[in-house]
């Protein structure tokens, strides 16, 4: 009984850190879940009007650095102290979120987003470090279970609040995110103290780079890879064409191949060394996981836009009406004065039906082309269309064609995780880790295929919900096991260090997800009017990742297990 009571005993720092985590997640997901919608919304509708390529570049490049920087900012936390890093993070993120709502051009938005990412990178390692130091071997599993529950609670509530805020104005979304972060100064200043087990460390950047070489590869390996990523980023941002980036990549690879031909196998000087991968199985595994994180992030990057532009959620509105008009007004809110103004402008300017209907989705109504054309034709015959008439039409269309906010549907992912994650994890314990990983990725890929049907069948809203829930279960199955699987690859005495570099796969996944979303949605879904081809492409990537994981397990894990279990007398030397 005593041990059980001790299991639930945590220091004050544990509860303060969890509180700050909730507020930080409220801010991040309040912005992140709506980021695609905001960036693609025209300036006339309150957004910034970026192209899909620009949006994808921002969503790929900035989170890439957000997930790489904690390797360095974590060392700063160990050196300066956790409390100082918390305060630094909030000092950076508070104005960063506010400036995101004020930025109107790509460059200023990029800078503000980078501020938010740097602040979040300062926050992540010290909040996780606090949870670790505030628990012990007996209750660490419980501690992180509580912590990740807080993450998902923040992820669930954040978009709900942000969705309501955007019904007031887009500026309020970012002001709310800044407010959530500013609230964190209270616990950080008045209640948080570094756990007693935290000791100051003198770890420097050189030590971190040496550790990275031990896990990933030598300096030559890093130098051969990182410029390729930079070329991709530059092309994604539109500063180069992809053709120019491809030429630069080929030239760089040829140069490194020639360099490697004349390099020495053993040399103390880094630039004289051959390219070396420190742990090939781990590097291959990270590359395969990059495929999963690439398709996973389409849930946040591409799905909200797809629901807005291609899916009719009127069936969900009809179902919600059973719970009363207040529920409908909250989840499918339409600002009728703004809709009236928009309809009046479109009709009086004679905007063609196809273009007008695509603009009206920003007012959260999906008007049939024939319906709009009828109103436009009537105006062209009479040449009379008053604001009062526009108001009547707006009221009719708001009642008949209103749509559920995409961010609320995406939010079902967090709701499902909060309710089902523990049960899913318990069920997965009975199966081999590799089988669980493969099934999880395939389930997520199945969700991508179901998304195709949401554009072609009458119950579009319900099919979109089904797709999102399948993706949520794919995430619940895959994400925890993908980290657990690292233990099969890492040397037994270095598992913790290898886990620190697991997030490289997430960083690369965010990068490729953003760039592919920008190209896939802008070019394939919209310009070619083939969203089914876009989703099929992502589903194929999920399938390739699954096949790759099976091959990886047979090539590296099963073989190493067979070798380790073979008696020494049977091993050839």
Residue 240 pLDDT greater than 50, yes or no: yes
- Give me the pLDDT at residue 483, please: 78
- Give me the pLDDT at residue 8, please: 66
Residue 2 pLDDT greater than 50, yes or no: no
CB 448 within 8 A of CB 542: yes
| pLDDT tens, residue by residue, 290-325 | 999 999 999 999 999 999 999 999 999 999 999 999
- b/e per residue 295-329 (b: at least 16 CB within 10 A): bbbbbbbbbbbbbbbbbbbbbbbeebeeeeeeebe
Please give the angle made by the CA atoms of 474, 63 and 201, to the nearest 5 degrees. 105
Residue with tokens 């971190």: 208
CB 294 within 8 A of CB 512: yes
Residue 221 pLDDT greater than 70, yes or no: yes
Residue 74 pLDDT greater than 50, yes or no: yes
Q: Considering only CA atoms, give the Rg of the chain.
A: 26
Residue 36 pLDDT greater than 90, yes or no: yes
Please give the angle made by the CA atoms of 304, 309 and 314, to the nearest 5 degrees. 90
Residue 512 pLDDT greater than 50, yes or no: yes
422 vs 137: which has the higher pLDDT: 422
**Model confidence, pTM:** 0.91
Residue 573 pLDDT greater than 70, yes or no: no
Residue 570 pLDDT greater than 50, yes or no: no
Q: pLDDT over 90 for what percent of the chain? A: 67
Confidence band of 494 (pLDDT split at 50, 70, 90): low
Residue 566 pLDDT greater than 50, yes or no: no
Confidence band of 78 (pLDDT split at 50, 70, 90): confident
396 vs 429: which has the higher pLDDT: 396
Mean per-residue pLDDT, 540-562:
86
Partnered with residue 264 across adjacent β-strands are 273
- Give me the pLDDT at residue 484, please: 75
- Give me the pLDDT at residue 1, please: 45
CA–CA separation, 436 vs 457, rounded Å?
A: 31
Q: HSE-up of 373 (CA within 13 Å, CB side)?
A: 5
Dihedral, 14, 20, 23, 26 alpha carbons, nearest 10? -70
Partnered with residue 277 across adjacent β-strands are 217
Across the chain, what does the average pLDDT equal?
89
CA–CA separation, 135 vs 327, rounded Å?
A: 42
Partnered with residue 217 across adjacent β-strands are 277
Please give the angle made by the CA atoms of 28, 541 and 41, to the nearest 5 degrees. 40
| pLDDT tens, residue by residue, 388-414 | 999 999 999 999 999 999 999 999 999
| pLDDT tens, residue by residue, 190-217 | 999 988 877 777 767 777 777 888 888 8
Q: Give the residue among 515, 475, 504 at the shortest CA–CA distance from 59.
A: 515
> Which of 106-115, 399-408, 496-505 shows the lowest per-residue confidence on average (mean pLDDT)?
496-505
- Give me the pLDDT at residue 134, please: 84
239 vs 93: which has the higher pLDDT: 93
């Amino acid at each position: 009984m005593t041990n059980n009571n001790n299991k639930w005993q945590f220091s004050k720092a544990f509860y303060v850190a969890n509180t700050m985590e909730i507020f930080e997640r409220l801010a991040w997901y309040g912005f992140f879940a709506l980021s695609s919608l905001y960036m693609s919304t025209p300036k006339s509708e309150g957004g910034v009007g970026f192209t899909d390529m620009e949006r994808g570049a921002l969503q790929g490049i900035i989170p890439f650095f957000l997930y790489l920087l904690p390797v360095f900012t974590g060392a700063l936390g160990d050196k300066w102290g956790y409390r100082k890093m918390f305060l630094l993070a909030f000092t950076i993120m508070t104005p960063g979120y506010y400036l995101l709502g004020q930025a109107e051009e790509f460059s200023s938005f990029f800078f503000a987003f980078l501020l938010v990412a740097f602040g979040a990178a300062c926050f992540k390692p010290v909040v996780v470090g606090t949870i670790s130091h505030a628990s012990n071997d007996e209750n660490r599993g419980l501690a992180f279970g509580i912590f990740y529950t807080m993450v998902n609670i923040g992820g669930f509530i954040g978009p709900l609040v942000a969705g309501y805020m955007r019904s007031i104005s887009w500026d309020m979304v970012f002001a709310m995110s800044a407010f959530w972060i500013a609230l964190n100064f209270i616990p950080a200043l008045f209640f948080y103290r570094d756990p007693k087990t935290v000791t100051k460390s003198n770890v420097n950047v050189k030590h971190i780079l040496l550790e990275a070489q031990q896990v990933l590869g030598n300096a030559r390996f890093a130098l051969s890879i990182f410029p390729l990523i930079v070329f991709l980023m530059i092309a994604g941002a539109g500063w180069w064409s992809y053709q120019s980036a491809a030429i630069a990549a080929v030239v760089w690879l040829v140069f490194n191949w020639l360099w490697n031909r004349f390099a020495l196998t053993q040399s103390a000087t880094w630039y004289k060394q051959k390219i070396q991968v420190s742990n090939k199985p781990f590097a291959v595994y990270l590359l395969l996981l990059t495929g999963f994180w690439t398709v996973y992030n389409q849930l946040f990057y591409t799905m909200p836009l797809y629901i807005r532009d291609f899916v009719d959620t009127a069936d969900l509105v009809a179902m919600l009406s059973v719970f009363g008009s207040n529920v409908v007004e909250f989840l499918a809110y339409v600002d009728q004065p703004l809709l009236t103004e928009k309809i009046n402008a479109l009709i009086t300017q004679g905007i063609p039906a196809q273009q007008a209907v695509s603009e009206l989705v920003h007012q959260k109504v999906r008007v049939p082309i024939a319906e709009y054309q009828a109103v436009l034709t009537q105006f062209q015959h009479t040449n009379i269309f008053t604001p009062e008439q526009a108001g009547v039409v707006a009221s009719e269309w708001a009642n008949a064609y209103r749509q559920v906010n995409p961010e609320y549907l995406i939010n079902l992912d967090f709701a499902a995780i909060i309710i089902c994650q523990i049960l899913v994890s318990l069920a997965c314990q009975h199966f081999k880790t590799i089988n669980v990983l493969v099934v999880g990725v395939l389930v997520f890929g199945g969700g991508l295929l179901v998304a195709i049907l949401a554009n072609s069948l009458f119950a579009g809203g319900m099919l979109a919900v089904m797709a999102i829930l399948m993706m949520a279960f794919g995430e619940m199955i895959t994400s925890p096991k993908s980290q657990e699987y690292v233990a099969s690859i890492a040397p037994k005495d270095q598992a913790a260090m290898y886990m620190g570099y697991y997030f490289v796969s997430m960083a690369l996944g965010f990068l490729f997800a953003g760039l592919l979303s920008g190209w896939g949605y802008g070019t394939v879904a919209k310009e070619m009017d083939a969203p089914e081809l876009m989703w099929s492409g992502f589903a194929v990537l999920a399938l390739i990742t699954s096949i790759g994981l099976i091959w990886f397990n047979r090539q590296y894990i099963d073989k190493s297990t067979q070798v380790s279990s073979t008696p020494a007398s049977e091993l050839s030397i």
